[in-house]
Structure 1
Amino acid sequence: MSIRIHKPGLLATVQDLGRTGYGKYGIIVSGAMDRFAHRTANWLAGNDDGAAALEITLSGFAAEFEQDHWVAITGGNMTPVIDGRAVPMWRPVFVRKGSRLVLKQPVSGCRAYLAVSGGVDVPEVMGSRSTYLRAGIGGFEGRALRAGDELPVGTPRLGVSEAPAGDGSFYAVSWAIPWSLLPAYGQNPAIRVIRGRQWDDFTLRSRQAFLQSSFHVTPQSDRMGYRLSGPSLELESPREYLSEAVALGTVQIPADGQPIVLMADRQTLGGYPKIAQVISADLPVMAQATPGGHIAFREVSPEEAESLFIREERKLKRLKTMIRLKLKEDNYA
């Protein structure tokens, strides 16, 4: 069973939750940019958290299903249609053999996730199926997807034989993830941060500007980092820093004074001063920021950031349980 790619769009890759444990060798984590959308898509398709799915950036993507599949589409709204009919997001969808999925005009966000029951069955590299583009490893042949690629799919986790009958190209279940449980996705979001290790090394004016200004998301933003444009942020005095570990969401300030928010394909070490760290709860929102849009930063305390992280993890646990119960009620799992 496979999925044939007709158009990859701007960028489409195979991603799971990342390649952990190899940072000391200089191997980056990679993995899905929006881990909330990725994990939820997998649960809706009957998979475990870490199954490989497709991460699709902006529009122009098209693919054909060469077998009957249960799938789920989450993340940014790229106006998905199957054979001309709009496909609802954030719910299980049964797609029949020969159907063609197209992602059209972006409505919100910039990354959609397509999970298929059984997961995309590419080989693991160092314990992960994620694509690391710069090193050319993982994913499908270590690269972005191209027209003509056929992606193998693992053994379905949801019963195809129990799927509803009908003549249409697809069938979507009647229930979906409530909007109230989704991250606060938005066109111009306010991203919560805690102070970084070098916060006090910046001028008072720069610290105030960082928290009170709006920053433009530049077209140079990618999976490695979001490059922002706004007021120049300056140190109190020139300093040299030793390279040290960086994390998903670290906000670095290079010599030009313009912030870079490190994302999934970030390097393992960085020598630029770190003014802030995006809190874990807002990383999915950051991952859906659209080039050309704007973001603002709002400071929270480490204690509040921890409380928000715990709240989000509890919400995800409830969400996972709810999805599994609904799939069992519908006799698909």
Structure 2
Amino acid sequence: MIEIIQTGPFNTVQDLGRPGFRNIGVTTSGAMDPLALKVGNSLLGNETDAAVIEIQTYPFKLRFTKATAFVVTGADCGASIDGRPVQPWCALPVEAGQLLELGQPRVGTRAYICIAGGIDVAAVMGSRSTSLRGAFGGNEGRFLVAGDILQLGDISASLNLPATGIAVVDPAYALADVYPAPEDGALVVRAIPAGEHSLFGEDAERFWSQTWKISTQSDRTGYRLMGEPIKPTTPVEMRSHGVVSGVVQVPPSGEPIIQMSDANTAGGYPKIAGVIEADLWRLGQTRIGSRLRFVRVTHAQAAEVEKAVAGFIDDVRRTSRMVCGALQAMK
């Protein structure tokens, strides 16, 4: 078990979400940085979608009540165990009674605490993710508070981690050849033109060419962007239709909204683009006030990025198994 000692609002239990229920109005939820979750779980030998703790308000402290193993991924927030610095993206053994602390992020916004066996809360509709809007899933459908006790899942075999841990390179660097570098300080986000793209005429091109800023009216549901408004060539009225994470809608104000992990299940605003799935984790780590630009790509190009990211995750899992297996053979 683990005990939450100190936390802030909006820190929750998340996994990869609950797809398949949008037709009845249930949001997918899930980690805002799914890559951090997948890498952390792979290092620990967990199932890729095991539940973790998503931290977005700091400081955060928890106490391990039994010996286990953990890894902090995502934002670099100067984590420490009993006051000793912990390397990010490094799976480490931990003893009962030890205290894990996370401070304000140095880079990124959201940190993920992955623990061997995963966080064992009840699955709702096949997922352990917290839906704050629906008040279900995770830990009683709410964010964590001091004093909460969370159970851990069983592990099939001893991890045999070395005392120094098993670390991987931060995906932002390991996948540097896959992800475009910032342009004039603006995050480059790849997207595919969506259904109503042509309705925006010349403004559609300005959507791609200008630099947008993430406004303070942004959260897990969606990121509202600030910039020179874009609007359809003629007023358009649409029936509500299904939307998913990554869809970029344009409300009457002309300032686009990127649907995120707690995306609305339906909406009537015209869709100008869809952020490719492999780039969503970068948005999940981008701070309010940051600038970004969209770059148009094809479905084939998006698939190549997905393939490269999946290969990286597979390499992490194989490396972890190899190291732990070698240590077990030496005993």
Same fold (TM over 0.5): yes
Q: Does 1:197 align with 2:195?
A: yes
Q: Does 1:13 align with 2:12?
A: yes
Q: Does 1:181 align with 2:178?
A: no
Cα RMSD after superposing both structures: 2.1
Q: 1:87 corresponds to which residue?
A: 86
Counterpart of 1:237 in 2: which secondary structure? coil
What do residues 11-55 of structure 1 show as CA deviations (whole Å, max 9, x unaligned)?
A: 211011111222221111111111111111111122111111111
Q: State how many pairs are aligned.
A: 323
Equivalent residues in 2 for 1:102-181, closer than 5 Å:
102-157=101-156, 159=158, 162=160, 171-173=163-165, 175-177=167-169, 179=171, 180-181=173-174
CA distance in 2, matches of 1:302, 1:17: 22
Counterpart contact for 2:247–2:275, Cα < 8 Å: yes
CA distance in 2, matches of 1:115, 1:189: 27
What do residues 162-212 of structure 1 show as CA deviations (whole Å, max 9, x unaligned)?
A: 566xxxxxx4425424654347597741001110111111130x2232212
Amino acid at match of 2:165: V
Counterpart contact for 1:9–1:60, Cα < 8 Å: yes
Counterpart of 1:191 in 2: which secondary structure? strand
Distance 1:322 1:282, change over 3 A: same
Amino acid at match of 1:181: A
Counterpart contact for 2:166–2:320, Cα < 8 Å: no
CA distance in 2, matches of 1:67, 1:91: 19
Counterpart contact for 2:27–2:264, Cα < 8 Å: yes
CA shift, 1:10, in A, is 4.1
CA distance in 1, matches of 2:50, 2:109: 21
CA distance in 2, matches of 1:23, 1:320: 31
CA distance in 2, matches of 1:178, 1:14: 22
Counterpart contact for 2:45–2:317, Cα < 8 Å: no
Amino acid at match of 2:238: Y
Amino acid at match of 2:91: P
Counterpart of 2:328 in 1: which secondary structure? coil
CA shift, 1:244, in A, is 1.4
CA shift, 1:89, in A, is 1.2
Q: 2:100 corresponds to which residue?
A: 101
Counterpart contact for 1:45–1:158, Cα < 8 Å: no
CA distance in 2, matches of 1:7, 1:195: 43
Counterpart of 2:114 in 1: which secondary structure? strand
- The equivalent position to 2:312 in structure 1, one of 303, 311, 315, is 315
Q: Does 1:259 align with 2:256?
A: yes
Counterpart contact for 1:47–1:157, Cα < 8 Å: no
Counterpart contact for 1:111–1:288, Cα < 8 Å: yes
Give the TM-score normalised by structure 1. Answer: 0.90
- The equivalent position to 2:220 in structure 1, one of 211, 220, 223, is 223
- The equivalent position to 1:269 in structure 2, one of 266, 275, 281, is 266
Distance 1:199 1:257, change over 3 A: same
Amino acid at match of 1:130: S
Counterpart of 1:89 in 2: which secondary structure? coil
Counterpart contact for 1:67–1:98, Cα < 8 Å: yes
Equivalent residues in 2 for 1:33-112, closer than 5 Å:
33-112=32-111
CA distance in 1, matches of 2:292, 2:170: 25
Counterpart contact for 1:217–1:291, Cα < 8 Å: yes
Counterpart contact for 1:10–1:60, Cα < 8 Å: no
CA distance in 2, matches of 1:144, 1:7: 12
CA shift, 1:311, in A, is 2.9
Most deviating of 229-238 and 304-313:
304-313
Identity of aligned residues (%): 36
Distance 1:58 1:107, change over 3 A: farther
Counterpart contact for 1:46–1:158, Cα < 8 Å: no
What do residues 261-301 of structure 1 show as CA deviations (whole Å, max 9, x unaligned)?
A: 10111121121111110012211111111112111111112
Amino acid at match of 2:288: P
